[in-house]
Structure 1
Amino acid sequence: MRAHLPLRLTRSAAFAAVSVTLSALAHALAGGTAPGPATPALALAGVFALGLLLSGRERSPAVITLALAATQAALHNAFAYDSVPAAPSPLTDPEHGLGQNAGMLLSHVVATLLTGWWLARGEHVVWSLLHRLARRLLPLPPPARVPEVRQAAFFTSRRVPVSPAVTLTVSRRGPPLPA
Structure 2
Amino acid sequence: MRAQLPLRLTRSAAFAAVGVGLAALAHTMAGGAAPTPGFFCLSLAAVMALGTILSGRERTPATINTVLIATQLALHTAFGYDSGPAVLSPLTDPEHGLGQNTGMLLTHLIATLLTGWWLARGEGALWSLLRRLGRRLVLLLVCTAPARVRQAAFFTSRRVPVCPAVTLTVSRRGPPLPA
How far is the alpha carbon of 1:32 from its aligned partner? 3.8
Q: Report the counterpart of residue 118 of structure 2 in structure 1.
A: 118
Matched, 1:39 2:52: no
Matched, 1:72 2:78: no
The one-letter amino acid paired with 1:53 is I
Answer whether contact 2:33 2:82 (CA < 8 A) is retained: no
Structure 2 distance, partners of 1:10, 1:127, is 13
Which contiguous aligned blocks of 4+ residues in structure 1 show a shift greater than 6 angstroms? none
Q: Report the counterpart of residue 13 of structure 1 in structure 2.
A: 13
How far is the alpha carbon of 1:37 from its aligned partner? 1.4
How far is the alpha carbon of 1:87 from its aligned partner? 3.2
Q: Report the counterpart of residue 96 of structure 1 in structure 2.
A: 96
Residues 1-179 of structure 1: pairs in structure 2 closer than 5 A: 1-139=1-139
Answer whether contact 1:17 1:44 (CA < 8 A) is retained: yes
Higher deviation after alignment, 111-120 or 85-94 = 85-94
How far is the alpha carbon of 1:85 from its aligned partner? 1.2
Structure 2 distance, partners of 1:36, 1:2, is 36
Question: Deviations for 1:93-151, whole angstroms, at most 9, x for unmatched residues?
Answer: 10111110100100111111110000000000000000000000024898xxxxxxxxx
TM-score, reference length from structure 2: 0.76
Structure 2 distance, partners of 1:36, 1:137, is 46
Answer whether contact 1:32 1:89 (CA < 8 A) is retained: no
Q: What is the root-mean-square deviation of aligned Cα atoms in Å?
A: 1.5
The alignment partner of 1:90 has SS state of coil
Question: Deviations for 1:148-174, whole angstroms, at most 9, x for unmatched residues?
Answer: xxxxxxxxxxxxxxxxxxxxxxxxxxx
The one-letter amino acid paired with 2:19 is S
How far is the alpha carbon of 1:30 from its aligned partner? 0.8
TM-score, reference length from structure 1: 0.76
